């Protein structure tokens, strides 16, 4: 009995695209597969659709069929397909191969492994982190071989399709009832083989090198931030893209300032006479020196805010503040004359609590504490 036209079997025209033929085959296969349609007629239609798709999805077979029809497929080793009852693993291999990594005429070829990402720890002082800077770093890594331009093949040659899988990167093996798809053992899923490897990289497509990179650090970075340099990581295998380089920021401790987000903090020691009588002090900031007025009767621990003297956020916005905490310093190494003067001052302050309100309140609290314990 003569075979039906393959285009008629799938219900498509001769100008149908590959996607249209695949969709038509999926519809027929799901409808007539023996596991879903036990009728003898359904099994035959399933085989017919499978055979039609195997021919029309192969460019060489399709060209021969379009020119010579079924007779043309009998020569040249094409065979016409259609053997076996088929199963759903065939459907997934043929119809969904490009989704799950299947091999069909080279379309399911696996991608070469992307190069590895790298990390570089960059330590900055606070000044450079706040103002921004540009630094040069050296990265030992793999780079594309300059001799073969990363192809892995000897100069003047190029990789060829793997003869085992035909460039698909995967092979299909029949194991009893199931059709199993596996990575090609010859090319390890690459789909290509190098007959004449590059002598500089031994066919790897990459060589070791210490790269010098210029890294622009934006103003306002802080510990934990990272800068991504796309494509500056390790080179991949032949034909693969390179990984990325991540520059991890660590801001070292500062001898004066501590940072909390956009704000800076520092302690300012002041002499006890300045705390008592008041005065002006010169305070360092990351942008230069400024004057800070200390009012009279300032207590230790008091916080002064200098607006806009902190850190400007990396992503824009208003700069933070500088918070100055004053610490009243007790004089040391006093001369006899100085000790005498302080004793005189101390006597002049005796007899009243108005000069030491905090001490007075504290001692009152202590007295109440002991009174409660004894009652």
Q: What is the DSSP string of 63-106?
A: HHHHHHHHHHHHSTT------S---HHHHHHHHSHHHHT--STT
Q: Residue 371: which residues within 8 A CB-CB, separation 6 or more?
A: none
Tokens 């970075």 locate to 221
Q: Residue-wise pLDDT tens for the chain (375 aa)? A: 457 888 888 888 888 888 888 888 888 887 877 666 667 777 788 888 888 888 888 888 888 888 878 777 775 544 444 433 344 444 444 444 433 334 344 344 445 678 899 999 999 999 999 999 999 999 999 898 888 888 888 888 888 888 888 888 888 776 655 667 788 888 877 788 888 888 888 888 888 999 999 999 999 999 999 999 999 999 887 777 889 999 999 999 999 999 999 999 999 999 989 999 999 999 999 989 999 999 999 999 999 999 999 999 988 889 999 999 999 998 889 999 999 998 898 888 876 666 676 766 776 777 777 777 776
Name the fold adopted by 118-251. Chaperone, DNAj Protein; Chain A (2.10.230)
Distance set, CA 135 to CA 119, 218, 225 (Å): 16, 11, 16
Distance set, CA 328 to CA 104, 272, 282, 343, 355 (Å): 82, 6, 16, 19, 16
Q: What is the pTM of this model?
A: 0.58
For domain 6-95, the CATH architecture is Orthogonal Bundle (1.10)
Given this model, what pLDDT does residue 248 score?
96
List alpha helices for 75-231, DSSP H. 88-95, 97-100, 126-131
What's the pLDDT tens digit per position in 176-223? 556 677 888 888 777 888 888 888 888 888 889 999 999 999 999 999
| Structural domain spans, the chain | 6-95, 118-251, 258-348
Given this model, what pLDDT does residue 137 score?
95
**Spelled out in words, what is the top-level CATH class assigned to the domain 258-348?**
mainly beta
Check if 118-251 and 258-348 are the same fold.
Answer: no
């Amino acid at each position: 009995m003569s075979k039906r036209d393959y285009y008629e079997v799938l219900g498509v025209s001769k100008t149908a695209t590959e996607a249209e033929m695949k969709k038509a085959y999926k519809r027929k296969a799901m409808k007539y597969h023996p596991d879903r349609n036990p009728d003898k007629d359904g099994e035959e239609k399933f085989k017919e659709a499978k055979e039609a798709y195997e021919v029309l999805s192969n460019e060489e077979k399709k060209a021969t069929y379009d020119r010579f029809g079924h007779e043309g497929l009998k020569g040249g080793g094409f065979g016409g397909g259609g053997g076996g009852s088929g199963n759903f693993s065939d459907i997934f291999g043929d119809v969904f191969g490009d989704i799950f990594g299947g091999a069909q005429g080279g379309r399911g070829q696996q991608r070469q492994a992307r190069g590895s990402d790298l990390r570089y720890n960059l330590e900055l002082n606070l000044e450079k982190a706040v103002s921004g800077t540009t630094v040069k770093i050296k990265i030992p890594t793999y780079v594309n071989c300059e001799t073969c331009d990363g192809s892995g093949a000897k100069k003047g040659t190029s990789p060829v399709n793997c003869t085992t899988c035909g460039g698909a990167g995967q092979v299909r093996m029949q194991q009893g009832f199931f059709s199993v798809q596996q990575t090609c053992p010859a090319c390890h899923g690459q789909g290509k083989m190098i007959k004449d490897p590059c002598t500089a990289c031994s066919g790897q497509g990459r060589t070791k090198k210490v790269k010098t990179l210029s890294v622009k650090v934006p103003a306002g970075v802080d510990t934990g931030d990272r800068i991504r340099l796309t494509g500056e990581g390790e080179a991949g295998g032949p034909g693969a893209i390179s990984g990325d380089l991540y520059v991890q920021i660590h801001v070292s401790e500062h001898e004066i300032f501590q940072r909390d987000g956009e704000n800076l903090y520092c302690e300012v020691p002041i002499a006890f006479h300045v705390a008592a009588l008041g005065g002006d002090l010169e305070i360092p900031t990351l942008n230069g020196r400024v004057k800070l007025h200390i009012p009279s009767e300032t207590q230790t621990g008091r916080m002064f805010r200098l607006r806009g003297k902190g850190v400007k956020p990396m992503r824009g916005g208003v700069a933070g503040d500088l918070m100055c905490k004053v610490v009243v310093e007790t004089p040391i190494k006093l001369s006899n004359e100085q000790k005498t003067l302080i004793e005189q001052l101390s006597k002049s302050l005796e007899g009243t609590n108005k000069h030491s309100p905090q001490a007075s309140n504290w001692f009152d609290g202590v007295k109440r504490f002991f009174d409660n314990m004894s009652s």
